Amino acid sequence: MGKVRFESDGNRNATVSPRGLNLVIDAHLRRLRKRDVIGAAEEQAIRALVSQTQRVSAHRTLIREGEKLEHSVLLIDGWLARAVDMAGGARHITELHVPGDFADLHGFTLKRLDHDVVALADSIIALVPHERLKELTDRFPHIARVYWFSTNVDAAIHRQWAVSLGRRNAFSRMAHLFCEIFLRLDVVGKTTGASFDFPITQEQLASCLGLTAVHVNRTLQALRREALIELENRRLTILQFDELKRAGEFDPSYLYLDRQPE
Amino acid sequence: MGKVRFESDGNRNATVSPRGLNLVIDAHLRRLRKRDVIGAAEEQAIRALVSQTQRVSAHRTLIREGEKLEHSVLLIDGWLARAVDMAGGARHITELHVPGDFADLHGFTLKRLDHDVVALADSIIALVPHERLKELTDRFPHIARVYWFSTNVDAAIHRQWAVSLGRRNAFSRMAHLFCEIFLRLDVVGKTTGASFDFPITQEQLASCLGLTAVHVNRTLQALRREALIELENRRLTILQFDELKRAGEFDPSYLYLDRQPE
DNA sequence: CGCGGTGTTGAGACCTGTCAAGACGTGTGG
DNA sequence: CCACACGTCTTGACAGGTCTCAACACCGCG
């Protein structure tokens, strides 16, 4: 998958042409607006956060645990994850990020992370200086609350993953994850009908679900056998969303996608 | 454990005498100060958040999932937990709260919770109106960031629990939890040497650790057999903290207890 | 004195992990 | 253009951690 090729020029971080920067932050605004009203002045200020974007290659570690942070990473396109490395080489992924997400907005207040941020696939990101976030949130207390809200939704996602890890079997856990990912991608317009690009390897899925890659493979087969999903050529199709939700005991309210303006 | 007795007068929520309210919020300030500098004016404003406290009894559900929220719960003394109820009656606890914690500060921006807040033991709480939090954070943007930070630490705790649930066996998971609880209690002055009150039942522990009560019992015995802890009469003593940390692969940096003033 | 909540113990079942081997596809280098 | 290497996916046999079910002990409280 071109790991070496990308790694080799990864440090150059070729910038994306600034033309269309306004377009590039659309998914982010779209998601914010799913949850609150963003005024015109606020929108303008948010768009001004991003001055340039970068390409990053699959498997790159963007941020390392403990590193002092000066900016946060906004995902424009691709897949990022928060990963905790453990003694013994095991790695656990605590959240997947889809376009429009800040992968480490919590870094704005924490100043260092308790996990790595890694690219699971070739991606496009934007760096947002904390300095600029500070100005923005000082100027617009409402935006501060919207972003605070946003990190609180991340925590809600963590909670649901923990419930899955603690109380659901492999089949149910995976069903729950696919439901979540589908909805989150749908909000930012990254689905086509019931399908979406899903370049996540079984190994990476295992890191999310607290399973081994072998068992992920078997569980995927079970989901296919039950005709709940299709997954081929890195594209996932949900065949029976209602059944999948039932299998994962999925209730989307923890994603807080219903608009609740202040 | 007086469940019925307390339930019966639980609704009356006998208020604690307002004398000593300043004392009562000390643990909270102590914890904030472990992480950032709180000025005198800020301290005064924080103390003014709380106007009265309430007693709540073990097993009471203080907040239900989905309920519209007007205030947040500050734990003064006792034990609260965030609990997710699942179909089939199982309940998973996603975080334990010690005195000085807000159990649902995230409710300030989320406006409803994706979980319940329950009392695991007889406790004393203070209700902080969101209205007052709004005024406070508008007036002191720095305090807004301190509280934002605080909810981000909750998320970091969620992540570590998820790693435990996903990748550690029962023994290691429990060791990790005890290390965390010990440090968090220590910060707010609720430890005596290497011991602390720990009125959590094995059933409740099981809900935290994604285990059954039976297996919690066996795992506790294993920890005692290795002379890592003692636990009797609802009091836990850590006999070998270094060994316990090693067993749980515990690294306290995710608690962000090192002071990092802005 | 009896009861409910809690803690303890044993035996067997089951889900998931471990280890090992091979298939498949794609990019690389000769 | 082919051979090869590598990452990924797949399959099988077996081991082991944790669950389930069941019974019993303990204890504070009504």
User: What does the DSSP assignment read for B131-173?
Assistant: HHHHHHHHH-HHHHHHHHHHHHHHHHHHHHHHHHHHH--HHHH
Q: By the 8 A CB rule, do A174 and A205 touch?
A: yes
Q: By the 8 A CB rule, do B6 and B60 touch?
A: yes
Q: pLDDT at residue B153 above 80? A: yes
Q: What is the mean pLDDT of residues B223-235?
A: 97
From CA B2, how far away is CA A236, in angstroms rounded?
A: 52
> What is the per-residue pLDDT for A261?
63
* Residue B213 falls in which region: left (phi positive, over 0), alpha (psi -120 to 50) or beta: alpha
Q: By the 8 A CB rule, do B113 and B105 touch?
A: no
Mean pLDDT lowest for which of A20-34, A133-147, B159-173, B235-249? A20-34
Say which nucleotide is closest to residue B232, CA to C1' distance: C7
> What is the per-residue pLDDT for A3?
29
Put simply, the answer to whether A84 touches B156 (Cβ < 8 Å) is no
Q: What is the mean pLDDT of residues A166-173?
A: 98
Say which nucleotide is closest to residue A59, CA to C1' distance: D7
Q: pLDDT at residue B1 above 50? A: no
> What is the per-residue pLDDT for A11?
35
Q: What is the mean pLDDT of residues B140-158?
A: 97
The minimum CA-CA distance between A15 and chain B, rounded to whole Å, is 31
Put simply, the answer to whether B137 touches A137 (Cβ < 8 Å) is no
Using a CB-CB distance cutoff of 8 angstroms, which residues of chain B are in contact with residue A130?
none
Chain A interface test: which of B94, B172, B174, B254 (most A C-beta within 10 Å): B94
Comparing B8 with B122, which gets the higher pLDDT?
Answer: B122
> What is the per-residue pLDDT for B196?
98
Burial B205-233 (b: 16+ CB within 10 A, else e): bbbbbbbeeeebeebbeebeeeebbebee
Task: For the sheet with A235-238, list strands across it.
Answer: A195-197, A235-238, A229-232
Mean pLDDT lowest for which of A21-30, B2-11, B84-93, B109-118? B2-11
Q: What is the mean pLDDT of residues B20-40?
A: 89
Q: What are phi and psi of B55, to 5 degrees?
A: -90, 140
From CA B148, how far away is CA B162, in angstroms rounded?
A: 21
Provide, rounded to the nearest whole percent, the portion of chain A with pLDDT above 90.
86
| Confidence label for A88 from pLDDT (cuts 50, 70 and 90) | confident
Q: pLDDT at residue A237 above 70? A: yes
> What is the per-residue pLDDT for B15?
53
> What is the per-residue pLDDT for B124?
95
Mean of all residue pLDDT scores within chain B = 91
From CA A87, how far away is CA B120, in angstroms rounded?
A: 33
> What is the per-residue pLDDT for B18?
52
Side chain identity at residue B86, one-letter code: M
Using a CB-CB distance cutoff of 8 angstroms, which residues of chain A are in contact with residue B163?
84, 86, 92, 94
> What is the per-residue pLDDT for B44?
95
Q: What is the mean pLDDT of residues A69-81?
A: 97
CB B220 under 7 Å to nucleic chain C: yes
Q: What is the mean pLDDT of residues B88-100?
A: 95
Q: pLDDT at residue A185 above 50? A: yes
Q: pLDDT at residue B261 above 80? A: no
Q: What is the mean pLDDT of residues A57-78?
A: 96
Helix (H, G, I), strand (E, B) or coil at B124: strand
Q: What is the mean pLDDT of residues A147-170?
A: 98
Q: What is the mean pLDDT of residues A251-259?
A: 94
**Of A178, A162, A163, A161, residue with least CA distance to A224:** A178
Mean of all residue pLDDT scores within chain A = 91
> What is the per-residue pLDDT for B21?
73
From CA A1, how far away is CA B11, in angstroms rounded?
A: 62
Q: What is the mean pLDDT of residues B133-139?
A: 95
Reported pTM: 0.93
| Confidence label for B259 from pLDDT (cuts 50, 70 and 90) | confident
